[in-house]
Amino acid sequence: MQNNIENTQPEFPLTAKIHDLLNKSKYEEAREVINTRLKDFSVETALTIEQLEYYGCLVDLGCESNNEQDLTNAISFLEANQTSIQQITGESSYYYNLANAKHGLDKIFWQNNPGVKPIETGKERFQEAINLYWQAFKTADRQNETLYVQVLINLSNALTYVSRIIEAIQFLDVALNAFPNHPNALLSRGDALYYLCNYFNSNVTLSLYQQIYINNVQVQKGLKKWLKFNFVH
């Protein structure tokens, strides 16, 4: 789950190091780098893009390492500085990152409390994150493909957690109507269709297999185009 703090400048050197540590699952090292750098920022000075980048990394770290304290710290910062952050990154990016942090806490709760849960529990735990993703979607610029699609994918994931699978698929369809070959959206839709079948405890019909297969074929084609566009010069 990658943060989407908007930044037109080159990536800050430490964020590249942090992402590399996250990719290697070296969470303690990443946490030390982030917290050490954040201590350098004074609460009395104006917010900077660099500072926001590190808090975005803190959200990623909390989600990937299932660390409630990381996510709670990030949420406290984001909520306390909402107006200033939105002036720098825009509303959609702000709501998206806050939703990621809240959703991360929800998933930790889910993992720490296994078993069948009342519908009310799911709604209570996940509704705030769903509302925030919805705010991010409503304020998103469709021209920003990365943020626009990722908001819809994460909104879909949050809806799936509370078994609102049809809605989840519909939001993925919105993303694919705008960007038909987006690999992550196609893959998520294939997963959602398969989950839908398992949720209703029914056999996978031929037509559903066909739909999943079509999605996966499109993923492969879309991924090849995406890789070529982004890495072949």
| Its pTM surpasses 0.85 | no
- CB of 172 closer than 8 Å to CB of 189: yes
- In sequence order, the 6+-apart residues with CB closer than 8 A to the CB of 82 are 94
* Of 129, 128, 176, nearest in space to 148 by CA: 176
Q: How far apart are CA 28 and CA 160, in angstroms?
A: 30
Residue-by-residue pLDDT tens, the chain, 233 positions: 455 554 434 468 889 999 999 999 999 999 999 999 999 987 777 899 999 999 999 999 999 999 999 999 999 999 999 999 999 999 999 999 999 999 999 999 888 887 766 767 767 788 999 999 999 999 999 999 999 999 999 999 999 888 888 899 999 999 999 998 898 998 888 888 888 777 666 555 545 555 555 565 555 555 455 444 444 43
Run of H or E including 113? none
Domains of the chain with bracketed CATH = 1-89 (no CATH), 122-233 (1.25.40.10)
Beta-carbon neighbour count of residue 104 at 10 Å?
A: 27
- In sequence order, the 6+-apart residues with CB closer than 8 A to the CB of 12 are 50, 53
Residue 139 backbone phi and psi in degrees, to 5 = -105, 5
